Homo-oligomer: A and B are copies of this chain.
Amino acid sequence: MGGSSNRVESFPDALDLESASPVEKSPSTPQPLEIHKVPLPQKKTTFQSLKQRLSEVFFPDDPLHQFKNQPLLKKLILGLQYFFPIFHWGSEYSLQLLKSDAVSGLTIASLAIPQGISYAKLANLPPIIGLYSSFVPPLIYSVLGSSRDLAVGPVSIASLVMGSMLREMVSPDHQPMLYLQLAFTSTFFAGVFQASLGFLRLGFIVDFLSKPTLVGFMGGAAVIVSLQQLKGLLGIVHFTTKMGFIPVMVSVFEHRKEWAWQTILMGTSFLVFLLITRHISMRKPKLFWVSAAAPLASVILSTTISFIVKAQYHGISVIGHLQKGVNPPSVNMLFFQGSFLGLAIKTGIVTGILALTEGIAVGRTFASLKNYQIDGNKEMMAIGIMNMAGSCASCYVTTGSFSRSAVNYNAGSKTAVSNIVMASAVLITMLFLMPLFYHTPNVILSAIIITAVIGLIDFRGAARLWKVDKLDFLACVSAFFGVLFISVQMGLAIAVGISMLKILIHVTRPNTVIKGIIPGTQNYRNIGHYREAMRVPSVLILGIESPIYFANSMYLQERILRWVREEEEWALKMNQSSIKCVVLDMGAVTSIDTSGMDALTELKKALDKRSLEFVLANPVGNVLEKLSQSETLEKLGSDRIYMTVGEAVSAVSSTYKVQV
């Protein structure tokens, strides 16, 4: 790091400034700007530059900095704390903290139990799996995880995607056992994928899902999920297994006869109740517990009702028997060969990355709210290990849930202990309270899911996109409709594709701007931006606002020649002195490749043929380095490089003084 480099003693205040402007030295005789030579950056060996490059790519956050020059014992302790954050906060854990953690833990438990059961159904899995998945993973995370607010468990998006991907090949109704095996195996691979991403420091891969496309994708998924709930809400028995908007709608109206008014009545009334409580808590974050308690409350209430009125005999389907007990081991159900391995891996990777995206985003959000850092790559390892372990204990893919973490945060959670509390609550439920769910109507679960996912539809975000960046909005909308009308995976693919395309388009068609001098300064700026900027006669100053790559070198070459042509035409029309020199401001050209350098050489040739000067201003270090390495510098003329546009202009202008 540059810390060791030399420094000026005081601020470059007015006095410095005066001595700064070189003309100062002899105010009497006007003279052009003093020219500073542009040095080559210190020579680096291939190894050095490669090392630096790699460490930037893989260790941008320099995770080991805290270990630097520490005694060995300290190093060991730090290492332990690094891999098991629980040792970090565990040491100074107090009863005070436990109190608030207990409160928040119980709060999210009341949310986790009904949601767990519901999301499991979303993934076409038996409800109990949802509870299993709310027990083991949180415990593991509380040891490995570095976020203090993450509430771990099954989440809607990942459940939906896993459900839809597996269902395409295997029917959960006809081959329940195989389906279960697939679910656990893909969970295992999801974990492996997540952990290795973290371990290989490839965390940045999740950043490739741009926010706009995520908004669209999440919104679309939320709608899909809600539509699926029409089955429960209307009490339809024979429902399509498809996910798309159209097939679902068709099947809803085809089975109009199966609609059961009792179910509809119960469902809608509870849905309204839940939505109201949600609304209240959103208005007054203090009242978070209203929406947090509502789902459990409505489960209890509805169960009691259906118990009293014997709902199942009035066309209201109930969950039915759930066996007691803690997670049975499921290692024996994982498979690593066979025709379905491919599907399992694919599903694992897709759900894995979605789970990561949500988990990391949630973690970062609340970390920045409480002003502590979380190491993305470490989080990924934690989540990955948690899922690998989970897949051996009858859990399907889990991560940090947006909704529950928010509740956890509002309920005043201090550490990951809240997860432990929640897990214990779930454990008790699994051990003793399962029979109570016998009479719970499925319609309630549907209502709970809808209330949970409705928050994923982010109208405000979409509106902001429309306002700020039409392209982003387009990406968002296409992802949304992709999910809705084609398929969830397709929507995701579209989302990623558009994100990539956006980068590429920007790289292929960079800006080139004409620059003029700001009167009373030595600064040259885009005349399209600064109205006061004045163009310098006979000199065309172009700013290239992008690296020069194979992907845009040809474009830039032609575009610059077009600028020149237009300039000359204009000068002719205005019978102004036509241009004699082209200055390229390379300040924003942050890198260049072989094609780019060829383009510059070509440009030089073309301008020579027109007998136009061609000079570069303010090239950055590595660009200059490459230019010299490839002998492009000689071709351009190494005396043709200036530190600033001002110096370039004053240099060429003075030469013209002689000529003209």
Contact = CB atoms under 8 A, between A and B. Distances in A.
Interface of A: 1-3, 5-15, 17-24, 27, 30-34, 36, 39, 41-42, 46, 50, 56-57, 60-62, 65, 204, 207-212, 364, 368, 371, 373, 376, 464-465, 467-470, 472, 499-500, 502-511, 513-514, 516-523, 525-531, 533-537, 545-547, 549-555, 558-559, 561-563, 565-567, 570, 574, 587-588, 590-591, 593-595, 597-598, 602, 605-606, 609, 620-622, 624, 626, 629-630, 643-644, 646, 649-650, 653-654, 656-657
Contact of A56 (B60, B469, B509): B509
Contact of A14 (B30, B509, B535): B30
A211 B598 contact: yes
Contacts of A558: 60-61, 373
Among the interface residues A504, A522, A563, which one has the most CB atoms of the partner chain B within 10 A? A522
A528 B204 contact: no
A339 to B, nearest CB: 24
Contact of A620 (B18, B208, B545, B561): B545
Contacts of A14: 23, 30-33, 650
Contacts of A500: 500, 504
19 contacts: A3-B567, A9-B537, A11-B657, A13-B650, A13-B657, A57-B509, A61-B559, A65-B566, A204-B509, A207-B554, A212-B593, A368-B606, A371-B609, A464-B594, A465-B594, A500-B500, A503-B503, A510-B590, A587-B588
A50 B473 CA distance: 13
Contacts of A606: 368, 371
A605 B549 CA distance: 35
A136 B624 CA distance: 49
B590 A17 contact: no
This protein's copies in its complex: 2
A210 B593 contact: yes
Contacts of A521: 20, 22, 36, 644
B518 A643 contact: yes
Given A510-B590, A620-B526, A536 B376 contact: no
Contacts of A630: 464, 467-468
B555 A12 contact: no
B32 A13 contact: yes
Nearest to A547: B506
A529 B621 contact: yes
A630 B552 CA distance: 29
Contacts of A15: 30
Contacts of A534: 5-8
A23 B17 contact: yes
Contact of A5 (B10, B32, B535, B597): B535
A3 B566 contact: yes
A20 B520 contact: yes
Nearest to A654: B13
Contacts of A2: 514, 516, 527-528, 535
Contacts of A622: 511
Contacts of A503: 503-504, 507, 549, 551
